[in-house]
Amino acid sequence: MARLWTPHRMVYIGGQDKPADSSVAQCPFCRIPAGDDVDGLLVARGTTCYVVLNLYPYNSAHLMVLPYRHVSDYPDLTPEETLELAELTQTAMQVVRQLYAPAGFNLGMNQGEVAGAGIAAHLHQHVVPRWLGDANFLPVVGRTKSLPELLADTRERLAAAWPAA
Query: Which among 105, 125, 106, 110 has a CA at the least distance from the CA of 49?
Result: 125
Would you say 44 and 90 are in contact if contact means Cβ atoms under 8 Å apart?
A: no
Catalytic annotation present for 124:
yes
Helix (H, G, I), strand (E, B) or coil at 84: helix
Query: Which among 139, 136, 128, 133 has a CA at the least distance from the CA of 104?
Result: 128
Q: Which positions are catalytic?
A: 124
